[in-house]
């Protein structure tokens, strides 16, 4: 094992501790926290538009929106829209808490009205 690690460190730009981690299949990060990736310029651009502050240069038309097809319609998914139209139960939740604490999960296809009104025996 020592010979393998020494051979790897001599030929690549990787240190011996890191090589051991990969060979023994140990994790290379020691944390119990999951970091959230958050694209904040969408929120900044929305606030600028709300207050009438002009967007300059690369700020214009930079919003990223995910599009999903649901049955016969196309639905856009945006974190800004998610926060603006969040349920009233979460009305007092600040943006930081909304991003770091809560997660959005796909619930599958929505049931039709007929299915919702059906009473199970």
**Rounded CA separation 49/51 (Å):** 5
Strand partners, 77: 66
**Rounded CA separation 109/69 (Å):** 11
Q: What is the pLDDT of residues 12-43, one digit of tens each?
A: 667 778 778 888 888 777 777 777 778 888 88
Burial 47-75 (b: 16+ CB within 10 A, else e): eeeeeeeeeeeeeeeeeeeeeeeeeeeee
| Within-domain flag for 116 | no
Within 8 A by CB and 6+ apart from 108, the residues are none
Counting residues of the chain whose pLDDT is more than 70, the rounded percentage is 73
* Shared-domain flag, residues 58 and 103: yes
Q: Which domain holds residue 99?
A: 41-107
* Shared-domain flag, residues 47 and 17: no
* Shared-domain flag, residues 50 and 69: yes
């Amino acid at each position: 094992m020592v010979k393998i690690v020494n051979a790897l460190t001599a030929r690549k730009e990787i240190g011996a501790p890191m090589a051991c981690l990969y060979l023994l299949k140990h994790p290379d990060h020691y944390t119990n926290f999951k970091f959230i990736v958050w694209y904040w310029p969408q929120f900044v651009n929305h606030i600028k538009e709300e207050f009438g502050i002009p967007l300059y240069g690369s700020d214009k038309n930079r919003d990223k929106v995910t599009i999903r097809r649901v049955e016969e319609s196309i639905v856009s998914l945006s974190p800004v829209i998610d926060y603006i139209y969040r349920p009233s139960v979460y009305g007092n939740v600040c943006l930081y808490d909304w991003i770091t604490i809560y997660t959005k999960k796909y619930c599958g296809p929505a049931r039709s009205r007929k299915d919702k009104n059906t009473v199970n025996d």
